[in-house]
């Protein structure tokens, strides 16, 4: 099938490459000419496992092309996926839909009769209906559907090729059949498809993200209670997660969630619900947000306390800048926020990350960066573990103890082994875990 994918950010690039890989003819569209040139040469603009190979093979097979021209896109296909960003509005909590709107304004007058415009961007419920109204004027006889994306950064290609479900929000049987045909390999693999109306499809996405964010904030709230009660949140989370009705995923206590999705999605959801008169129903999302941002503050407070009450003149080694492991994305990264806060309070902060240093440097140019873990920790009075990259679990604590000034580590991701670090002479500290269980030297 022929299709365009408009917007080549995370979702768009991965969607375009995967659609080409399953045999479709895909034209990717972006207003950024430099990005289009890189993609056309088979180079991914972001670090994502397996994406480079997929892009290169799609491009060299001739099934994947890129352009900056919406006119070319409109002429190329009758099926158009909108994958542009929907960031938080600069002046409020709601979603900024200017990019979605400008795609519709740009392509609308040029659409061929019968064209189907499919949104994949995360949007406030009611957006598809509003856009359908606009297209009724700009391009009579066209249709709008919503087909939300559930991929995670770091496993985006896998998530797209092997999703756990497909959600198709349509207003006609024709659109439903067309979208089911697009995802033929997934349907053949028995992946469930939920066909529904566009509003429900839009809501499935935001409700799913809100639920996962709530789960993370719930366990982080428990970490705070554990701190007050002298209990261990990691054991609590494992024991809770063993109940299959609860499940262990997204129950990792620590520094909380960041990235380009959860924080802005829960705010946009609450804002939209308020517009609809249903604000009270999701008022708890404000608390979820507050719990989440409080974890960054708690980490900074705990670090300062460990340094004897001040960051001034202290050296801090930071492990991790990305908002999560497996990604080079630092958007709303809790790790980078903590590193920047420590530096702002007078610490000399040196940050290590295996993938995200370029993006981190662009976002926080005042921090010092290195690709070498021992260098990051050289002479440090405190080491902060802020993103749980697997390579940090492979660190030899004894060797690292040799380069720091004081072997003191705060594991804000609860993923290092306290016994191994303690045995190597480190004072190991964590949020939501009493000294009696993390132990180590004091
Ligand atoms: C999230 C959703 O998981 C995807 O399904 C969704 O498609 C995507 O948002 C989106 O809306 O585009 P993503 O932001 O890539 O995906 O990353 P996650 O793996 O969900 O992690 C989000 C944040 O939660 C990270 O900062 C991570 O470190 C944090 N997290 C996750 C925790 O703090 N604890 C956990 O137990 C799990």
Report whether 348 contacts 377 (CB < 8 A): no
| Ligand 1 midpoint to CA 320 (Å) | 16
Instruction: For 256-290, give the DSSP string.
Output: ---SSSHHHHHHHHHHHHHHTT-GGGGTHHHHHHH
Query: For ligand 1, what atom is nearest to the CA of residue 208?
Result: 5
* Count of CA atoms in the C-beta half-sphere (13 A) of 45: 18
pLDDT at 441: 46
Q: Best of 234, 262, 389 to mutate for ligand 1, by most ligand atoms within 8 A of CB?
A: 262
442 residues of the chain, pLDDT tens digit each = 999 999 999 999 999 999 999 999 999 999 999 999 999 999 998 888 899 999 999 999 999 999 999 999 999 999 999 999 999 999 999 999 999 999 999 999 999 999 999 999 999 999 999 999 999 999 999 999 999 999 999 999 999 999 999 999 999 999 999 999 999 999 999 999 999 999 999 999 999 999 999 999 999 999 999 999 999 999 999 999 999 999 999 999 999 999 999 999 999 999 999 999 999 999 999 999 999 999 999 999 999 999 999 999 999 999 999 999 999 999 999 999 999 999 999 999 999 999 999 999 999 999 999 999 999 999 999 999 999 999 999 999 999 999 999 999 999 999 999 999 999 999 999 999 988 777 544 4
By three-state DSSP, how is residue 224 classified?
Answer: helix
Pairing of strands 193-196, 315-319: unpaired
Question: Of all protein residues, whose CA lies closest to atom 17 belonging to ligand 1?
Answer: 152
pLDDT at 439: 58
Question: Of all protein residues, whose CA lies closest to atom 8 belonging to ligand 1?
Answer: 152
CA Rg value for the chain? 24
By three-state DSSP, how is residue 181 classified?
Answer: helix
Sorted by where each starts, the structural domains of the chain and their CATH numbers stand as 2-196 (3.40.50.720), 206-289 (1.10.1040.10), 295-438 (3.40.50.720)
User: Which position among 226, 261, 364, 377 bears the catalytic label?
Assistant: 261
Sequence-distant (≥ 6) Cβ neighbours of residue 296 within 8 angstroms: 255, 256, 334, 337, 338, 341
In degrees, rounded to 5, the angle at the alpha carbon of residue 106 between the alpha carbons of residues 103 and 111 is 100
Instruction: For 372-419, give the DSSP string.
Output: -HHHHHTT-SEEEE-S--HHHHT--HHHHHTTSSS-EEEETTS-S-HH
| Ligand 1 midpoint to CA 78 (Å) | 33
DSSP state of 197: -
| Ligand 1 midpoint to CA 152 (Å) | 6
**Residue 427, strand partner residues:** 408, 440
The beta strands (E) that lie in 52-199 are given as 64-67, 79-82, 116-119, 143-146, 166-169, 193-196
Helix (H) or strand (E) holding 5: strand 2-6
Query: For ligand 1, what atom is nearest to the CA of residue 249?
Result: 36
| Ligand 1 midpoint to CA 249 (Å) | 11
DSSP state of 111: P
DSSP state of 254: S
pLDDT at 301: 98
Label residues 34-45 b or e (16+ Cβ within 10 Å = b): ebbebbeebebb
pLDDT at 91: 94
Question: Of all protein residues, whose CA lies closest to atom 25 belonging to ligand 1?
Answer: 257
| Ligand 1 midpoint to CA 174 (Å) | 34
Report whether 209 contacts 261 (CB < 8 A): yes
Which residue in 254, 224, 294 sits closest to 413, CA to CA? 254
In degrees, rounded to 5, the angle at the alpha carbon of residue 27 between the alpha carbons of residues 23 and 31 is 150
User: Cα–Cα distance between 292 and 433 in angstroms, integer?
Assistant: 18
83 is catalytic: no
Q: Best of 151, 209, 257, 353 to mutate for ligand 1, by most ligand atoms within 8 A of CB?
A: 257
Q: Best of 261, 296, 332 to mutate for ligand 1, by most ligand atoms within 8 A of CB?
A: 261
The beta strands (E) that lie in 303-353 are given as 315-319, 348-352
């Amino acid at each position: 099938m022929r299709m365009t994918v408009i917007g080549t950010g995370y979702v768009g690039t991965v969607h375009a490459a995967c659609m080409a890989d399953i045999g479709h003819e895909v034209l990717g569209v972006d207003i950024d000419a430099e990005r289009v040139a890189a993609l056309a040469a088979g180079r991914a603009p972001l670090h994502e496992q397996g994406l480079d190979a997929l892009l290169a093979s799609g491009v060299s097979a001739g099934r994947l092309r890129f352009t900056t021209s919406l006119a070319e896109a409109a002429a190329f296909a009758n099926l158009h996926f909108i994958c542009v960003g929907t960031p938080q509005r600069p002046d409020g909590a709601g979603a900024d839909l200017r990019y979605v709107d400008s795609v519709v304004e740009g392509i609308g007058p040029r659409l061929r009769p019968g064209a189907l415009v499919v949104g994949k961007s995360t949007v406030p419920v009611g957006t598809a209906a509003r856009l359908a109204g606009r297209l009724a004027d700009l391009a009579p006889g066209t249709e709008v559907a919503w087909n939300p994306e559930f991929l995670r950064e770091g496993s985006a290609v896998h998530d797209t090729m092997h999703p756990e479900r497909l959600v198709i929000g349509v207003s006609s049987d024709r659109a439903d059949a067309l979208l089911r045909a697009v995802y033929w390999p997934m349907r053949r693999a028995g992946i469930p498809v939920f066909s529904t109306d566009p509003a429900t499809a839009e809501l499935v996405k935001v409700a799913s993200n809100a639920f996962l964010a709530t789960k993370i904030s719930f366990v982080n709230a428990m970490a705070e209670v554990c701190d007050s009660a002298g209990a261990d949140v990691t054991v609590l989370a494992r024991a809770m997660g063993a109940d299959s009705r609860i499940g262990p995923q997204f129950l990792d206590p620590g520094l909380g969630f960041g990235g380009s999705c959860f924080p802005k999605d829960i705010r946009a959801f609450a804002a939209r619900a308020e517009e609809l008169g249903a604000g009270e129903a999701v008022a708890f999302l404000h608390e979820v947000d507050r719990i989440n941002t409080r974890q960054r503050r708690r980490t900074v407070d705990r670090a300062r306390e460990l340094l004897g009450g001040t960051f001034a003149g202290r050296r801090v080694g930071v492990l991790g800048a990305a908002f999560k492991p497996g990604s080079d994305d630092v958007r709303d990264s809790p790790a980078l926020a903590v590193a920047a806060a420590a530096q702002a309070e007078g610490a000399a902060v040196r940050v290590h990350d295996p993938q995200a240093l370029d993006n981190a440097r662009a976002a926080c140019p005042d921090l010092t960066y290195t690709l070498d873990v021992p260098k990051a920790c050289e002479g440090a009075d405190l080491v902060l573990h802020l993103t749980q990259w697997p390579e940090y679990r492979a660190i030899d604590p004894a060797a690292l103890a040799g380069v720091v000034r004081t072997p003191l580590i705060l594991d804000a991701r609860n993923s290092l082994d306290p016994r191994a670090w303690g045995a190597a002479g480190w004072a190991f500290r964590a949020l939501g875990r009493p000294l009696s269980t993390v132990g180590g030297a004091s």
